[in-house]
Structure 1
Amino acid sequence: MTWLMLDHPAWDMRPHAPAVRATRTSTGLWLLTATPTPTKALLDGSGAEPTIDSHDPAALRDLALPEGLHAALTQLGPVQRLREASLWDSLATAIIRQVIRARQARAMHHAFRHAAGTPAGPTRLLPTPEQVLALTDEEFAQLGMAFKRRPLQAAASAYLAHPEWPALAPDALIKALQEVPRVGPWTAAAAVADHSGDFSLYPYADLAVRTWAALADPATSWPADEAGFAARWQEVAGPHLSALTVLVLAWGDHHAHHTAPDQGSPHH
């Protein structure tokens, strides 16, 4: 069985119905439904389908993975993840995820979309930069997002001022995004990984990856500090850093729906 990752807070979980998510490509608005084989429906525009990346633990067979981690990922099996086509949506989502726990970020993302975003079938998109800039202090406060107003509006202004951003190489884009007030290395890297699908760019020593690695393979003594974990993770992953990071996050996403506590990303 192939698992579709539903970790991204743009997925709307619905009782007695498949999860749905809307996404913007360069030419159209799409609705995705999380059936066993994800379906894509064009709601507006044309062409340019959203990209779904596939990752298979079998591709890691040549790595010297710790035995427990190898077993956990093999049991999980192949994974798919929707690449966020809109750089703005990736940036805004990473800002929403700052500091707070994953469950709170999902609830806030949902509330923000459904209060101020554009309708897209049974769900809604995040507000555009223009819509974010038009929101008042009171409207942010009513959504419980007063502390997100300044970084979101600063990011919206910067995004509109830099139409060249989507064309930048990932390393240059991560650097450029950090020029936005209250967008630090974690936020910039998480946004670019989400947008590009390259999770070698993700801050792979963050709390979520460290937690899931330790839970998936408790027999291995993983470094507790970020720098030590990052060095160990790079050593283990070799040329498959992106795939290994996605697969461990997918393992955590699957595990979290059953037994694990909520995990956050307390970074900027």
Structure 2
Amino acid sequence: MTAPPRAPHATGDVGTVVACPGHVDPRRTVGRLRRGAGDPTWATVDGAVWHATRRASGPATLRLTGVPGGVRADAWGPGAADVLADVPGLLGLLDDPTGFAAHLHPAVARAHRTHASLRLARGGDVWSTVVTSVLEQRVVGTDAKASWRRLVARHGDPAPGPAPAGLRVAPPPAAWGALPVWEWRQAGVDAHRADAVRRAAAVAHRLTPDLAPAELARRLQTVPGIGPWTAAEVTSRALGDPDAVQVGDAHLPHLVGWALTGRRADDAGMLHLLAPWAGHRQRVLVLLEVAYRGAMPAYGPRGRRALPMR
């Protein structure tokens, strides 16, 4: 995305500087929340990170810019004040590693030393995370990202304020729930996932960011079509849950097994290997991903971007 010519350095409707201990790179910290380089709800322009999101108070655009001693945050739109209040969590400043024992395994200790500044971000936008997580069920990542990109580009709203061209706010739950079947099919989304999003939209008012991760996971799993994997994706990304484990993932058990034992593992083996880090299992998973994913033998499917379903 490219910035429009108007007011690229304007201050927001509300703004603040968030002090950060050490160096915090907004691009790296929020990177796990972005669903691919083409995610229309995110953009990076001239070193600044832009995000279009939605809160109960309405849509908002957030801009994060690194400054000496912290991060400058500006926000526009009806939801500006609420999204600005979420910035410390978004930057990982609410992440508490107390009790994390990286030394229990050399691979984890090495990953922790190499990525000592890594923080678990709390995205705050539960609903959009529900949608992206459901779209990622049982398909390759490129398919899910392409579906998200198409649906938000077609049905989302322009981001408020002087946002980069093409930045979009994802639709609210009611709009997702009302999408006709052909819109899902054109985006390459099968009926199982489309139905899960529609069912979740009907109870979205109960899926709030003030819930404890365990309670949000419980509520999510009362929705047909949403299980432990999807719930863990949501709590880890939207709430910064440091202990979430994506049981049922096509890659994570093999990554954990390979990094910690040199052999592939299944879900049961992964849970056994992660047990010493109870309370911080998501932290271990993220560290292993950033440190070793590129070195791991390739396991699991790869495929083309989502195509319209026939």
Scaled by the length of structure 1, what TM-score is found?
0.76
* Displacement after TM superposition at 1:72 (Å): 3.1
Q: 1:142-153 maps to which residues of 2 (within 5 A)?
A: 142-147=186-191, 148-153=193-198
Aligned to 2:221: 178
2:61 to 8, 24, 30: 30
| Partner Cα distance (1:136, 1:32) in 2 | 33
Unpaired stretches in structure 1, ≥5 consecutive residues = none
Aligned to 2:118: 79
Aligned to 1:245: 285
8 Å CA contact 1:103–1:262 kept in 2: the answer is: no
Shift in alpha-carbon separation, 1:183–1:108, aligned structure 2, 3 A: same
Aligned to 2:73: 40
8 Å CA contact 2:130–2:230 kept in 1: the answer is: yes
* Displacement after TM superposition at 1:260 (Å): 8.1
Higher relative contact order (CA 8 A, sep 6+): 1
Shift in alpha-carbon separation, 1:100–1:63, aligned structure 2, 3 A: same
2:103 to 44, 49, 64: 64
Q: 1:161-240 maps to which residues of 2 (within 5 A)?
A: 163-166=205-208, 167-203=210-246, 206-213=249-256, 217=259, 220-221=261-262, 224-235=265-276, 237-240=277-280
* Displacement after TM superposition at 1:65 (Å): 3.1
Scaled by the length of structure 2, what TM-score is found?
0.67
Shift in alpha-carbon separation, 1:43–1:259, aligned structure 2, 3 A: farther
Unpaired stretches in structure 2, ≥5 consecutive residues = 1-22, 302-310
| Partner Cα distance (1:259, 1:137) in 2 | 39
Shift in alpha-carbon separation, 1:195–1:7, aligned structure 2, 3 A: closer
| Partner Cα distance (1:249, 1:77) in 2 | 14
8 Å CA contact 1:140–1:146 kept in 2: the answer is: yes
**Which protein has the larger Cα radius of gyration, Structure 1 or Structure 2?**
2
Shift in alpha-carbon separation, 1:7–1:135, aligned structure 2, 3 A: same
Structure 2 counterpart of 1:183, which letter? Answer: I
The one-character-per-residue Cα deviations of 1:114-152 (angstroms, maximum 9, x if unpaired) are 111122233212221111123222222222224332121
8 Å CA contact 2:158–2:169 kept in 1: the answer is: yes
The one-character-per-residue Cα deviations of 1:145-203 (angstroms, maximum 9, x if unpaired) are 243321211211232xxx34325433232122112121112112221222211131332
Q: Does 1:107 align with 2:146?
A: yes
* Displacement after TM superposition at 1:17 (Å): 5.8
Moved more, 144-153 or 89-98: 144-153
* Displacement after TM superposition at 1:223 (Å): 5.9
Between structures 1 and 2, the one with greater helix share: 1
| Partner Cα distance (2:142, 2:299) in 1 | 6
The one-character-per-residue Cα deviations of 1:60-88 (angstroms, maximum 9, x if unpaired) are 88443322332233223312454221221
